Amino acid sequence: MFLSDNTAPACPEVLNYLQQYVQNSVDHPYGGDQLTSKLNDIVSNIFEREVMVFPVLSGTASNCLALAAMCPSTGAVITHRNSHLSVDENTAPHFFTGGAALHQIGGGADTISPEELSRFCAKRPWRDVHSAVPRVLTITQATELGRIYSTEHLQELGAIARHYDMRVFIDGARFANALIQQNVSPSAAVMPSGASAMTLGAIKNGTFGAEALVLFEPELFPVVRQKAKQTGHLASKMRYLSAQLHAYFKDGLWLNNARAANSAAKQLSGLLNANPHCELAIESDTNQIFVRMPDALHQHLQDAGFDIYPWHVEDQACFRLVTNWATSNDHIDAFANALRSY
Ligand SMILES: Cc1ncc(COP(=O)(O)O)c(C=O)c1O
């Protein structure tokens, strides 16, 4: 099954942690509990600075709560035209912000270049009441096509954002996968961008119902909390979400899981690359693979039990395969057999 990272089973370390430590826990509701408060220390250690963490149920909620805290309803968010926020979150960015505009840019398939960001910001009379002034720049790391913004690239984007008085938000749905590939510390990966907040991408990579919204500006926390309550995202028993995140960070589980997913993707793309019927549509750096193949081969793989989504990289039709922390050598061998038998 290579449909999505979300097809992964419940991570045993996370389930065991819940049973062992919190099955019998009695504590304050709505995030006033010990586990939620300790999460701030854990993630502050990871990023080597003081952060606040707000656990939520989905990546979309995490992204859009962050935008709501950073962008006024009369402002705008600059995002890539193919970002998850642009194309996969329905109208949630508008709903959560109370009506902020999305300015969609992006000359490349998945990244925003410093030149186009500068051009876009410079060209409009933004201070005029008729236009929605950009207040936030969003960056997806790793990108929706599994590629990585270099730290220099992030630094340039961050400097432009600051120049135009915008905050930076990182959609890190696959941040751990990017981190493993970059081989840098979390702080070195994020801080050059000057990000005010990020989504950490826990659900795809190990938890089963807890996403971490990380606030590098702790003063955003009360705004996020208010907005979460308004939108029904203030979990009453937040400690069970927080507990999943404790397990997720314990002993580097999040990094080990991402390492396993990336390495399975390398094996899989090696197989596909070597197959005469397949051609990689792009080189991805993390756990997503985009490949062109005949429809008959796609059907053959489906029949063998490998569900794969048809996808597009720009105008090119292709298929997307995603590995996750639980993709095993047995899965890869079975896929290799299915490919061979075509
Ligand atoms: C880039 C990106 N951002 C955010 C999300 C979060 O989505 P969800 O709300 O389904 O957890 C996803 C999930 O596919 C994603 O790929």
What one-character-per-residue DSSP string does 188-237 give?
Answer: HHHGGGT-SEEE--TGGGT-SS-EEEEESSGGGHHHHHHHHHHTT-S-TT
CB of 171 closer than 6 A to ligand 1? yes
- CA-proximal residue: ligand 1, atom 6 (nearest): 59
Question: In the chain, which residues have pLDDT < 70?
Answer: none
CB contact at 8 A, 110 and 143 = yes
CB contact at 8 A, 49 and 187 = yes
CB of 147 closer than 6 A to ligand 1? no
Instruction: Give residue 89's pLDDT.
Output: 98
Indicate which atom in ligand 1 lies nearest the CA of residue 83: 1
How does DSSP assign 62-77, residue by residue? HHHHHHHHHS-TTSEE
- Sign for the CA dihedral angle at 268, 270, 272, 274 comes to negative
Provide the whole-model pTM.
0.97
Instruction: Give residue 128's pLDDT.
Output: 80
For the chain, the C-alpha Rg in angstroms (whole number) is 20
Tell me the β-bridge partners of 78.
103, 137
Tell me how far the alpha carbon of residue 124 lies from the centroid of ligand 1, in angstroms: 31
- CATH of the structural domain 254-340, one choice from 3.40.50.300, 2.160.10.10, 2.40.170.20, 3.90.1150.10: 3.90.1150.10
3-state SS class at 280: strand
For the chain, domain boundaries: 13-251, 254-340
Tell me how far the alpha carbon of residue 198 lies from the centroid of ligand 1, in angstroms: 13
In whole angstroms, what is the distance from residue 323 CA to residue 273 CA? 16
Tell me how far the alpha carbon of residue 269 lies from the centroid of ligand 1, in angstroms: 22
In whole angstroms, what is the distance from residue 88 CA to residue 98 CA? 18
- CA-proximal residue: ligand 1, atom 11 (nearest): 59
CB of 173 closer than 6 A to ligand 1? yes
CB of 210 closer than 6 A to ligand 1? no
Indicate which atom in ligand 1 lies nearest the CA of residue 63: 4
CB of 142 closer than 6 A to ligand 1? no
CA dihedral 16, 7, 267, 310 (to 10 degrees): -170
Q: Which one of 67, 171, 213 would you pick to mutate in the ligand 1 pocket, going by the greatest count of ligand atoms within 8 A of its CB?
A: 171
Of 261, 229, 199, nearest to 67 (Cα)? 199
Instruction: Give residue 25's pLDDT.
Output: 84
Tell me how far the alpha carbon of residue 122 lies from the centroid of ligand 1, in angstroms: 31
Exposure string over 174-198, b if 16+ CB within 10 A, otherwise e = bbbbbbbbbeeebeebbbbbbbbbb
Instruction: Give residue 27's pLDDT.
Output: 95
For residue 312, which phi and psi values (nearest 5 degrees)? -135, 135
Q: How far apart are the first and last CA of the chain?
A: 18
3-state SS class at 274: helix
Contacts 24+ apart (CB under 8 A), 316-321: 316/281, 316/292, 317/292, 318/281, 318/290, 318/291, 318/292, 318/293, 319/290, 319/291, 319/292, 319/293, 320/288, 320/289, 320/290, 321/2, 321/265, 321/268, 321/272, 321/288, 321/289, 321/291
- CA-proximal residue: ligand 1, atom 5 (nearest): 59
Tell me how far the alpha carbon of residue 60 lies from the centroid of ligand 1, in angstroms: 6
Tell me how far the alpha carbon of residue 115 lies from the centroid of ligand 1, in angstroms: 27
Report the side by side order of strands in the sheet with 279-280.
279-280, 288-292, 316-322, 309-313
Instruction: Give residue 126's pLDDT.
Output: 77
Q: Classify residue 30 as exposed, middle or buried by CB count within 10 Å of its CB (0-12, 13-18, 19+).
A: middle
CB contact at 8 A, 39 and 200 = no
Tell me how far the alpha carbon of residue 172 lies from the centroid of ligand 1, in angstroms: 9
CB of 59 closer than 6 A to ligand 1? yes
Tell me how far the alpha carbon of residue 203 lies from the centroid of ligand 1, in angstroms: 9
Q: Could you tell me which CATH number the domain at 13-251 has?
A: 3.40.640.10
CB of 79 closer than 6 A to ligand 1? no
Instruction: Give residue 3's pLDDT.
Output: 93
Q: Which tokens is 329 given?
A: 């050598």
Intrachain domains 13-251 and 254-340 with the same fold: no
Q: How far is CA 86 from CA 75, 77, 79, 189, in A?
A: 16, 10, 7, 24
Of 332, 191, 214, 207, nearest to 257 (Cα)? 207
CB of 110 closer than 6 A to ligand 1? no
